[in-house]
């Protein structure tokens, strides 16, 4: 685990690299970052080299010109992605746990239909994958409490969370299982959702599936640890 601190200026460049890499799925040139941030190529090169030395970027080389000549490119490391996710999501607050608990309190005061609408509105245009995952999991926790009996007839929620299995697999299995119970029960006397709310519910799950793969495994492991304390 990298513990090196970076400045706000370096974080800005690291975020740009992660964004560019996610957009293209290709190693990133300092020239691309210079263009994206509207700075000189030399400024971009110097700062990316600093981030490389701190372990946040992995160098790749692309042949250019004649024999023996190449251009340096960069890929963000897992630590870089975690750093960007953490800074983007949690810089205004003290910790993920505090934010998650506060969100839980909001959702617990709402009806199921209102909770679904709340989460749907929060994530429908959200580009931050981590936010999508956390809002969806907050709704998942609410559903776990409501359908505790039905869910535990199918899976042992606590055992799954405490299994120390690969965190992305745990979260996906848990979410899919709980949502499967919900789909089976949505027209029951227990909840009685209209078709519009149920469609929103399905859209939330679809966006979660798309977003979860963009959140680093180490960060998902932290989320599992928070769920362990809540559920």
SS (H, E, C) the chain: CCCCCCCHHHHHHHHHHHHHHHHHCCCEEHHHHHHHHCCCHHHHHHHHHHHHHCCCEEEEEEECCCCCCEEEEEEECHHHHHHHHHHHHHCCCCCHHHHHHHHHHHHHCCCHHHHHHHHHHHHCCCCCHHHHHHHHHHHHHHHHHHCHHHHHHHCCHHHHHCCCCCHHHHHHHHHHHHHHHHHHHCCCCCCCCCHHHHHHHHHHHHHHHHHHCCCCHHHHHHHHHHHHHHC
In CATH, the number for domain 8-82 is 1.10.10.10
| Average pLDDT score over residue span 7-32 | 90
| Average pLDDT score over residue span 42-55 | 95
pLDDT band at 93 (very low <50, low <70, confident <90, very high): very low
d(CA 15, CA 50): 14
Q: Which residue has the higher pLDDT, 151 or 166?
A: 166
The answer on pLDDT for 203 being more than 90 is yes
The answer on pLDDT for 1 being more than 70 is no
| Average pLDDT score over residue span 106-134 | 90
Q: What is the per-residue pLDDT across 150-165, written as a single tens digit (0 to 9) for each?
A: 777 777 888 888 887 8
d(CA 54, CA 57): 8
Residue ranges covered by each domain of the chain: 8-82, 93-230
Percent of the chain with pLDDT over 90: 28
Ranking 33-42, 95-104, 132-141 by mean pLDDT, the lowest is: 95-104
The answer on pLDDT for 86 being more than 50 is yes
pLDDT band at 187 (very low <50, low <70, confident <90, very high): low
The answer on pLDDT for 70 being more than 80 is yes
């Amino acid at each position: 685990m990298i513990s090196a601190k970076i400045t706000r200026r370096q974080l800005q460049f690291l975020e740009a690299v992660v964004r560019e890499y996610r957009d293209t799925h290709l190693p990133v040139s300092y020239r691309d970052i210079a263009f994206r941030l509207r700075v000189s190529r030399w400024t971009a090169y110097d700062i990316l080299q600093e981030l490389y030395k701190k372990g946040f970027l992995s160098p790749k080389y692309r042949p250019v010109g004649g024999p023996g000549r190449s251009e340096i490119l960069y890929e963000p490391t897992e630590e870089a992605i975690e750093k960007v996710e953490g800074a983007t999501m949690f810089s205004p607050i003290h910790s993920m746990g505090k934010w998650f608990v506060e969100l839980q309190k909001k959702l617990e005061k709402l009806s199921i239909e209102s909770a679904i609408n709340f989460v749907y509105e929060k994530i429908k245009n959200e580009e931050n994958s981590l936010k999508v995952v956390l809002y969806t999991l907050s709704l998942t926790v609410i559903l776990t409490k409501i359908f505790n009996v039905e869910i535990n007839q199918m899976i042992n929620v606590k055992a799954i969370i405490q299994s120390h299995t690969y965190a992305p697999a745990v979260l996906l299995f848990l979410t899919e299982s709980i949502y499967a119970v919900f789909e089976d029960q949505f027209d029951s006397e227990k909840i009685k959702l209209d078709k519009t709310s149920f469609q929103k519910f399905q859209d939330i799950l679809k966006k979660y599936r798309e977003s979860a793969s963009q959140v680093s495994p180490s960060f998902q492991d932290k989320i599992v640890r928070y769920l362990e304390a809540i559920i």
